[in-house]
């Protein structure tokens, strides 16, 4: 049974970077192989992980929906083949990108086949890290379901924390099988986080920890360097690893 960590939060809070650090933690702590899943329509998890992506599951879904399955090949064989082609293999982890959301028309058959094959694929990995879209769209569409840990990432802004509270509430209301939700406050700049605790306690989500703003993380992102290659002694990496120590056996 796979242990799944999903990340959600308002755009710009650094959730994809934190997802990459989760993969880095798991690989460095002998938890490989890890399946990284990019469920964000604006896919960039691969940049954080330093790998190239040629195929997405969205591509396969579009081809099947448009009837572009080669003659003599059944739809299930086609989807299975495309799923294998979409898996990017790396050192200690694999990445699969969900791709663009559905366009007009019915995708029921393609989605049903993809769901079945994805379930078989995920059983091959002890740990799964899923990076989701900004906001709550992925939860309302039930993309994020049956996860062990939901990390809701926010910055110290009121808007970020409000979005985090809404995501936590929606996850509870939809009853999508989230084992435990935690709040992570990212990009702190020496603020007294205790001043935010009243707001956090009102929502009931547990604060897992904070990650300081770090110039090296910014420089890696600016120059297109994979943040998964950040040194272990980096303050942001150390803070993230301390949190993962609390939730990952």
Where are the domains positioned within the chain? 3-247
The pLDDT > 70 percentage for the chain reads 84
Sign of CA dihedral 64, 70, 71, 76: negative
Whole-angstrom distance, CA of residue 211 vs CA of residue 52: 28
**Cβ neighbours around 130 below 10 Å, total:** 26
Collect all residues with Cβ–Cβ distance below 8 Å to 47 and sequence separation of at least 6.
Answer: 224, 226
Instruction: Read off the pTM.
Output: 0.89
pLDDT digits (tens, 9 = 90+) for 142-197: 566 788 999 999 998 888 888 888 888 888 887 778 889 999 999 988 766 766 76
pLDDT digits (tens, 9 = 90+) for 27-81: 999 999 999 988 877 788 999 999 999 888 888 878 887 888 888 888 888 888 8
Query: Which CATH class name applies to 3-247?
Result: alpha beta
Collect all residues with Cβ–Cβ distance below 8 Å to 67 and sequence separation of at least 6.
Answer: none
């Amino acid at each position: 049974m796979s242990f799944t960590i999903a990340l959600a939060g308002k755009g710009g809070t650094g959730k994809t970077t934190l997802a990459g650090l989760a993969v880095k933690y798991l690989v460095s702590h002998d938890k490989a192989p890890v399946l990284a899943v990019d469920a964000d329509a604006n896919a960039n998890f691969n940049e954080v992980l330093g790998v190239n992506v040629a195929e997405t599951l969205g591509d396969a879904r579009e081809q099947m929906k448009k009837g572009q399955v080669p003659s003599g090949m059944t739809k299930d064989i086609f989807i299975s083949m495309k799923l294998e082609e979409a898996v990017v293999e790396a050192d200690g982890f694999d990445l699969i990108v969900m791709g663009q959301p559905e366009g007009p028309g019915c995708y029921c058959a393609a989605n049903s086949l993809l769901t079945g094959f994805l379930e078989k694929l995920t059983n091959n990995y002890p740990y799964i890290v899923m990076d989701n879209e900004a906001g709550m769209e992925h939860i309302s569409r039930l993309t994020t379901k049956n996860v062990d840990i939901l990390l809701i990432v926010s910055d110290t802004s009121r808007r970020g924390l409000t979005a985090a509270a809404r995501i936590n509430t929606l996850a509870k209301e939809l009853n999508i099988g989230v084992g435990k939700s935690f709040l992570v406050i990212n990009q702190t700049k020496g603020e007294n986080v205790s001043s935010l605790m009243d707001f956090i306690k009102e929502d009931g989500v547990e604060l897992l920890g904070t990650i300081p703003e770090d110039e090296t993380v910014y420089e890696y992102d600016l120059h297109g360097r994979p943040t998964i290659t950040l040194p272990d002694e980096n303050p942001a990496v150390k803070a993230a690893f301390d949190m993962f120590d609390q939730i990952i056996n």
